[in-house]
Amino acid sequence: MTEYPNEECPVCRGMEWVHQAGIGAKRCQCYFQKQGQRLWKESGVPERYQKCCFDNFDGLKPSLVKAKQIVSAYAQAYPVIEPGMGLLLVGPCGVGKTHLAVSLLRELVLKKQVSGLFYDYRDLLQQIQDCFSDNAQSTVLEVLEPVIHTEVLVLDELGAGKTTAWVQEKITHIINARYNEKRICIFTSNYLEKTPGAGEESLTDRIGVRLRSRLYEMCRLVEIQAEDYRIHIKQAQYRTIGPSKGGRLTDTG
């Protein structure tokens, strides 16, 4: 055991405190860095998204540039935002919604030492469901407790997977509890509002009208409709998808 357990910090030589004239002792920058790294390890971001950050977001299309600007500005402003107001990132598969959500979480956790959790919607529901199996490892309360109380929750792929009344009840409980405590939720979802005649399911179909209304109360909507995606679909299916809305991004906050 050396005198300075963390000799790599040249500023404080591992003491994690520095002296500043006129102020006295204050925390060294390395203390906050370590705290952020610990929180990041605990945040549950899957391996495949571990490296996602704003700098490596491939957003060349105007709509994606705008989405990145909104999410990045949100990260900068945090916590000076409307209390409890999160983001709902909606758009088709593969446009980078998860990448943006993880980039936001990364900024908040590493730079601002905010506690946060990342959950894939289906994984969370599976974990809750597993609590009722014969060889359950944890109780529902143990699973829900951190999800309800973490400062920032990223819930990825909202509405994906098979929906049952039971599923809706659990997810509504979590989101209502966070809403009541004004805790931030960052959602991503592939489900948009229903396009007339398109025959696709909407977010309301997937999670119910009450929960959908609640989301709109607690989130700014960032809707991404990537131009390249629309062109791809049109070419693949040789049909017109109504009036072109390519590149549209609405920010209804």
> Residue 99 — left, alpha, or beta (φ > 0 → left; ψ -120 to 50 → alpha)?
alpha
Least spacing, CB of residue 113 vs Zn ion, in Å: 15
Q: What are phi and psi of 155, to 5 degrees?
A: -115, 110
Is residue 12 involved in binding Zn ion (CB under 5 A)? yes
Q: Which phi-psi region, left, alpha or beta, contains residue 133 (left: φ > 0; alpha: ψ -120 to 50)?
A: beta
- Report in angstroms how near the CB of residue 185 gets to Zn ion at its nearest: 34
Residue by residue, what is the 3-state secondary structure of 199-235? CCCCHHHHHCHHHHHHHHHHEEEEEECCHHHHHHHHH
Residue span binding Zn ion (CB under 5 A) among the ranges 30-38, 135-143, 155-163, 230-238: 30-38
CB nearer to Zn ion: give 4 or 166.
Answer: 4
Candidate ranges 4-12, 143-151, 163-171, 236-244; the one touching Zn ion (CB under 5 A): 4-12
Closer CB to Zn ion, residue 6 or residue 168?
6
Site membership for Zn ion, residue 30 (CB under 5 A): yes
Residue 11 binds Zn ion (CB under 5 A)? yes
- What are 222's strand-pairing partners? 89, 251
Number of residues forming the site for Zn ion (CB under 5 A): 5
* Closest to 109 measured CA to CA, from 54, 51, 33, 181: 33
Relative orientation angle of helices 62-77 and 97-106, to the nearest 10 degrees: 20
Q: How far is the CB of 35 from Zn ion (least distance, A)?
A: 12
Can you tell me which of 28, 39, 117, 167 binds Zn ion, judged by CB under 5 A? 28
> Mutual orientation of helices 121-130 and 165-180 as an angle, nearest 10°?
110
The rounded distance, in Å, linking the Cα atoms of 253 and 196 is: 24
Considering only residues 48 to 107 of the shown chain, the ones binding Zn ion according to CB under 5 A are: none
Using the minimum distance from each CB to Zn ion, give the nearer residue, 28 or 144.
28
Part of the chain binding Zn ion (CB under 5 A), chosen from 7-15, 167-175, 179-187, 223-231: 7-15
Question: In whole angstroms, how close is the CB of 81 to Zn ion at the nearest point?
Answer: 30
- Evaluate whether 12 touches 18 at the Cβ level (below 8 Å): yes
Instruction: Tell me how far, at minimum, the Cβ of 223 lies from Zn ion, in Å.
Output: 43
CA distances from 178 to 88, 94, 181, 225 (A): 15, 28, 5, 28
The piece of 24-32, 33-41, 131-139, 156-164 that touches Zn ion (CB under 5 A) is 24-32
| The only residue of 9, 64, 101, 154 in contact with Zn ion, by rule CB under 5 A | 9
CA pair distance 66, 240, nearest whole angstrom: 26
Q: Which residue lies nearer to Zn ion by CB, 11 or 77? A: 11
Give min distance, CB of 109 to Zn ion, in A: 19
> What's the min distance (Å) between Cβ of 26 and Zn ion?
11
By CB under 5 A, name the binding residues for Zn ion. Answer: 9, 11-12, 28, 30
